Amino acid sequence: MKVSLGLGQHRIGTVGDEEWVMYGLGSCVGLILCDPVRRVSAAAHMVLPSGRGDQAGAEPGKYVETAVPYLLEQMEALGARRKDVYAQAAGGARMLALGSLGDIGARNIEATRKVLAELGIPLVAERLGGTHGRTLWWDLRTGRATVRRVGHPDEVITPREYWYGEVHVDGPRVGR
Question: Looking at the annotation, which residues are catalytic?
Answer: 28
Cα–Cα distance measured from residue 73 to residue 17, given in angstroms and rounded to the nearest whole number: 23
Cα–Cα distance measured from residue 163 to residue 159, given in angstroms and rounded to the nearest whole number: 7
